[in-house]
Chain A
Amino acid sequence: MSAFTMDGDFGVKTPVDRNKSSSPVIQVVTEPAKEIKMEKVATLPAGEIGTPFAVKLANFGRAVLPPVLGMLILLGIWYIATMKGGSIPGPVKTWDAATVLFADPFYRNGPNDQGIGWNILSSLQRVGIGFGFAALVGIPLGFILGRSAFLSAMVNPIISLLRPVSPLAWLPIGLLVFQKADPAATYTIFICSIWPMIMNTAQGVQRVPQDYLNVARVLALSEWKVVTKILFPAVLPYMLTGIRLSIGTAWLVIVAAEMLTGGVGIGFWVWDEWNNLKVEHIIIAIFVIGIVGLVLEQALIMLARKLTKESA
Chain B
Amino acid sequence: MEKFVQVERVGQTFDTKKGKFVALRDIDLTIKQGEFIALIGHSGCGKSTLLNLIAGLTKPTTGVLLLEDREIAGPGPERAVVFQNHSLLPWLTCFENVYLAVERVFGEKEGKAKLKERTAAAINLVGLDHASAKYPNEISGGMKQRVGIARALSMQPKVLLMDEPFGALDALTRAKLQDELMKICEATKATTVMVTHDVDEAVLLSDRIVMMTNGPAATIGEILEVKLPRPRHRLTLAHDADYIGYRAAVLEFLYEKQAHVEKLAA
Report which A residues bind B (CB closer than 8 A): 1, 4-18, 20, 211-212, 214-215, 217-221, 225, 229-230, 233-234, 310-312
Contact = CB atoms under 8 A, between A and B. Distances in A.
8 contacts: A1-B85, A6-B42, A8-B265, A16-B57, A214-B75, A218-B77, A220-B76, A233-B89
Interface SS of A by simple majority: loop
B137 interface: yes
Contacts of B135: 312
Question: 10 nearest interchain CB pairs?
Answer: A8-B265, A311-B91, A233-B91, A211-B87, A217-B75, A7-B43, A1-B167, A16-B57, A218-B75, A16-B52
A160 B80 CA distance: 43
B62 interface: no
Interface in B63-89: 74-77, 79-81, 83-85, 87, 89
Nearest to A221: B104
A312 B83 contact: no
Given A1-B168, A6-B43, A219-B100, A312 B90 contact: yes
* Interface size range of chain B in the complex: 35 or more
Contacts of B91: 233-234, 310-312
B197 A6 contact: yes
Given A15-B58, A312-B137, 14 more contacts: A1-B84, A1-B167, A5-B167, A6-B43, A8-B44, A10-B21, A12-B16, A18-B84, A211-B83, A214-B75, A218-B55, A221-B100, A230-B89, A312-B90
A297 B81 CA distance: 43
Contacts of A311: 90-91
Interface string B255-266: 000000010011
Q: Which interface residue of A6, A20, A218, A225 has the most chain B CB atoms within 10 A?
A: A218
B180 to A, nearest CB: 20
A221 B75 CA distance: 11
B contact face: mostly helix, strand, loop, or mixed:
loop
Contacts of B262: 6, 8
A5 B43 contact: yes
B50 to A, nearest CB: 12
A14 B49 CA distance: 9
Contacts of B16: 11-13
A1 B168 CA distance: 4
Contacts of B155: 219
Contacts of B23: 12
Contact of B164 (A1, A14, A217): A1
A220 B137 contact: no
Nearest to B214: A8
Interface string B95-132: 00000110011000000000000000000000000000
B57 A219 contact: no
A14 B58 contact: yes
Nearest to B167: A1
A303 B83 CA distance: 33
B187 to A, nearest CB: 23
A9 B43 contact: yes
B181 to A, nearest CB: 18
A14 to B, nearest CB: 6
Contacts of A10: 21, 44, 215-216
A294 B228 CA distance: 70
A229 B104 contact: no
